[in-house]
Structure 1
C-alpha cells in the first residue's frame, strides 16, 4: 500500500488571540505529563452527502481555523515547563492519497499501515520544552472516494477527554451546528492546581529509557462475550454488578501478566486511569480542559497469578484502589503538590513501587461511557470505524485502550512482540477476544 502526501499547510486561528491571553498557564497535572502525541483515526466511506474532495478539504480547514480560535492554546507552542505561548502558530494540516479502496483497507483493517494515515508518529516521547504543535491533522483520500481523518494531539494540554472535546467542537462547526458548540473552560484546572516548576518534572530523555520496540494489536470483545465475562466477574459480597470495564480490564490484566511471566518477574502493576472531573465535581465539568486524570495502581504478585486465577479477584482489587480516588485525595494536592512527584519525600507511593518490575506497568485507559469516537460527524455522516494506531514502533509498552463499537468493545493492546505473541496464542483469552475482525459496516 502506498500513501503519498500531496500538500502541507499550517492552519492558523481565524482571529488572533487577545493580548491578555498570550501566555497560558498549565496546571500541575499538565506540567507533570509525559510529552507524547495521542492518535485517533476516523473513517468515512463516500456517500451521497459527500461534497467534492476540494470542498471537503476547504470545510475541514475553515472549521479547524474557527475551532483553534475557541481553543486558543491549541494553536500555540510550549513556552517553558509551566506555560504555552499563544502565538497563533496553528496546526499542521497534511493531505494524502491512498492507492487502495477503504473497503479493501478495512476488511480486515491493515493495522500495520494505520500510522501512515497519521500526521506524526504517535506515542513517542519528546522533551518537555520542545516547541511542538499541540494538534496535527492528516486528511487521507482513498481511491474509492472515502476519507480517513487522522488527528494527533499533544498530551501537554489535552488528555483523552479534552482532545475529544476539541474534535467535537471542530466537527460541530464543520457540519454547521455552531449552536451545539459550548465554550471550553480553559482556566479552572490551572487555577485549582497551579503549576510548580520542579527538576523532578518528567523529561523526554528520562521517559525514553522505558520505550520499547512494541507492536499494537486490536481485539474485539463481542456483546455475548462481554456478558459472559461480567457474569464470571460478579461477586455477591464485593462487586455485585461489574461493568464492562471491570470485566475486560480483569481478563486482560490476567493474561498480560501470564504473558510477561516468561521473564520470571516477582511483581507487576496495573494503572487504571480515572477521570478526575466527575470525581471532584464542581468547579470541574465536561468542558474543563487539561490533563485531569489520576492513576489507581494495583500491584500483583506474579507467583499468585496462573491460568486458573479467578477474574473476580482482579475486579475486586481494581475496584478497591479506584474507590480510594476521592475528592478529598485530589484536593490534598492543593496543599501538598509534592505527593504527585516521584522521588519526593512526601510522595504517596504504594508499597513496592520502587521495584524494577513496576517501572513499566500495564496502563489501562477507557473511553467507554465517556465518548464514542463513532459519533464524530463533520457533515457527511458518522464514521464507520475509528482507530488508534498500529504496527511496530518504539513506544511506551503495556498500554490498553478500550473503545466503544457497535459490535461490542475494542481493546487496543500495545506490548513487546515476544509478549504479544504469547497473548495471541492464549486459548483462554481467545475464547472471548476476536483478533482484528473486518469492519462489518463497510
Structure 2
C-alpha cells in the first residue's frame, strides 16, 4: 500500500491574534504533561453528491484558518514552561494520496498502515517542545474519493476533552454552522491551577519528556467488545452485596483489560514473577471539580488515579479489581483538588498518591487506562456526514508502552492496547481475553 504526501503547508489564523492575547498561560497540569501527540483518524466514505476532494480540502483549510482565530493558542508555540506565545505560526497541514479504496483498507482495518495516515508519530516523546506545533493535520484521499482525516494534538495544551472541543468547533465552521461553535474558556485552568515557578519541577518535567528510556518498541492491537460481552463482564464484576451500585461499563472493562495486560507482561517470567500491578486511570476532573470548569475549558484538567494490587494472576477476579479501583476513585473530591490548588508541592506526596512506601524498588507493572467515551468524536460532521469509523494508532513503533484507550462504538466498545512487541503476542494468546474480544473484526456498513 502506498501513501504519498502530495502537499505540505502551514495554516494560520484567518485574523491576527490581538496583542492582548499574545501570551497564553499554561496551568500546573499542562506543565506536567509529557510532550507527546494524541492521534486520531476519522474515516469518511465517498457518498453520492459529495463535493470533489479538491473542494473538500479547500473547505477544510478555510474553516481551519477561521477556527484558529477563535482558538488562537492552538496556532502558537510554547515560549517556556509557563506560556504559549500566540504568534500565529499556525498548524501543519498535509495532503496525501492513498492507492487503495477505503473499503479495502477497512475490511478488516489495516492497522499496520494506520500511522501512515497521521501527520506525525503518535505517543512518542519529543524534545524541543518550544518548536513543536500544537496541532498537525493530514488529509488522506483514497482512490474511491473517500477521505481519512488524521490529526495529532500536542498534549501540552490539549487533552481529550480540549481536543474534542477544538474539532467540534472546526467541524461546525466547516459545514457552515458557525452559530453552533461554543465559546472556549481559556482562563479557568491556569487561574485555578496556576503554573509553578520552581525550576526543580520544570527540570523534572523536561527530564521526563526527553528520557527515551521510557519508550519501547511497541505494537497496537484493537479489540472490539460487544454489548453482550460487556454485560458478561459487568455480571462477573458485580459485588455480592445487592445494595451496592452495579459496575459501570468502564469499571468492568478496564478491570478486565488491566488483568490481562498485566498477565501478558508477566508471561515471560512464568508464575515466578512477583512484580505488583499498578493501574493508572487518567481521569477528567472537570465534572468532579465543577465550577469554574466545564467541557469548554481548554487545557489538561487530568488526574492520575493510582490503583495498586500486590499481585495479579490468572485467578484474580475482576470483581476484586473493580472493588479496589472504586475505593481509590472514591477518594477523589473537590477538597483534594483545592488542597493541590493551595499547595502544589503536595503532588506526588501520600496526600495525592496512595501507594505503599518503597513500591518503586519492586518495579510494579504500570498499565495506563484512559477513556474517550462521551467526547463525541463519532459525531464530527464536517459537511459530508459522520465518520464511518475512528482509528487511534497502529503499526510497530518506538513509543510509550502499556497504554489502553477505550472508545465507544455503535456495537459496544473498542479497546486500543499498545504494548511492547515481546508482550503483545502474549496478550493475543490469552484464551479468556479472546473469548470476550475478537481482534480486528471487519467494519460493517461501508
Q: Are residues 338 and 250 of structure 1, via their aligned partners in 2, closer, same or farther at CA, if it must alter by over 3 Å?
A: same
The 3-state SS of whatever aligns with 1:97 is strand
| Aligned residue in 2 for 1:199 | 200
The CA deviation at 1:281 is 0.2
Instruction: Give yes or no for contact 1:339–1:348 (8 Å, CA) kept in 2.
Output: no
Instruction: Give yes or no for contact 2:275–2:364 (8 Å, CA) kept in 1.
Output: no
Q: Are residues 28 and 360 of structure 1, via their aligned partners in 2, closer, same or farther at CA, if it must alter by over 3 Å?
A: farther
Q: Is 46-55 or 28-37 further displaced after alignment?
A: 46-55
The 3-state SS of whatever aligns with 2:410 is coil
Instruction: Give yes or no for contact 1:269–1:358 (8 Å, CA) kept in 2.
Output: no
| Aligned residue in 2 for 1:364 | 369
Partners of 1:106 and 1:414 in 2: how far apart? 20
Partners of 1:404 and 1:145 in 2: how far apart? 26
Match among 245, 252, 256 for residue 251 of structure 1: 256
Q: Is 405-414 or 257-266 further displaced after alignment?
A: 257-266
Instruction: Give yes or no for contact 1:225–1:432 (8 Å, CA) kept in 2.
Output: yes
Instruction: Give yes or no for contact 1:81–1:129 (8 Å, CA) kept in 2.
Output: no
Partners of 1:359 and 1:292 in 2: how far apart? 26
Partners of 2:361 and 2:175 in 1: how far apart? 50
Deviations along 1:71-96, whole A, 9 cap, x unmatched?
A: 10000001001110000000110000
Partners of 2:94 and 2:372 in 1: how far apart? 27
Match among 291, 294, 306 for residue 285 of structure 1: 294
Partners of 2:176 and 2:209 in 1: how far apart? 43
Deviations along 1:135-154, whole A, 9 cap, x unmatched?
A: 00000000011000000000
* 1:440 aligns to 2:429 (yes or no): no
Partners of 1:2 and 1:180 in 2: how far apart? 38
The CA deviation at 1:48 is 2.2
Partners of 1:2 and 1:278 in 2: how far apart? 44
Match among 263, 266, 271 for residue 261 of structure 1: 266
Instruction: Give yes or no for contact 1:73–1:84 (8 Å, CA) kept in 2.
Output: yes
| Aligned residue in 1 for 2:5 | 5
Instruction: Give yes or no for contact 1:136–1:152 (8 Å, CA) kept in 2.
Output: yes
* RMSD over equivalenced CA pairs, Å: 1.7
The CA deviation at 1:266 is 2.1
Deviations along 1:314-344, whole A, 9 cap, x unmatched?
A: 111111111111111111111110122x5x7
Instruction: Give yes or no for contact 2:164–2:376 (8 Å, CA) kept in 1.
Output: no
Q: Are residues 3 and 138 of structure 1, via their aligned partners in 2, closer, same or farther at CA, if it must alter by over 3 Å?
A: same
| Aligned residue in 1 for 2:212 | 208
The 3-state SS of whatever aligns with 2:340 is helix
The 3-state SS of whatever aligns with 1:308 is coil
Question: Which residues of 2 match residues 27-426 of structure 1 at below 5 A?
Answer: 27-127=27-127, 129-197=129-197, 198-201=199-202, 202-203=205-206, 204=208, 206-237=210-241, 239-262=244-267, 263=269, 264-302=273-311, 305-340=312-347, 342=348, 348=353, 350-352=355-357, 354-356=359-361, 361-368=366-373, 370-426=374-430
Partners of 1:52 and 1:419 in 2: how far apart? 44
The CA deviation at 1:236 is 4.0
Partners of 2:132 and 2:145 in 1: how far apart? 32
The CA deviation at 1:374 is 1.4
Deviations along 1:39-71, whole A, 9 cap, x unmatched?
A: 011000001241011110011001100111111
Partners of 2:17 and 2:323 in 1: how far apart? 49
The CA deviation at 1:346 is 8.1
Partners of 2:228 and 2:55 in 1: how far apart? 42
Partners of 1:360 and 1:132 in 2: how far apart? 31
Q: Are residues 360 and 186 of structure 1, via their aligned partners in 2, closer, same or farther at CA, if it must alter by over 3 Å?
A: farther
Partners of 1:74 and 1:298 in 2: how far apart? 34
Count of residues paired in the alignment: 437
Q: Are residues 357 and 260 of structure 1, via their aligned partners in 2, closer, same or farther at CA, if it must alter by over 3 Å?
A: farther
| Displaced runs of 4 or more, over 6 A | 344-347
The 3-state SS of whatever aligns with 2:293 is coil
Partners of 2:137 and 2:369 in 1: how far apart? 25
* 1:25 aligns to 2:30 (yes or no): no
Partners of 1:353 and 1:133 in 2: how far apart? 39
TM-score (norm 2): 0.95
Instruction: Give yes or no for contact 1:38–1:123 (8 Å, CA) kept in 2.
Output: yes
| Aligned residue in 2 for 1:16 | 16
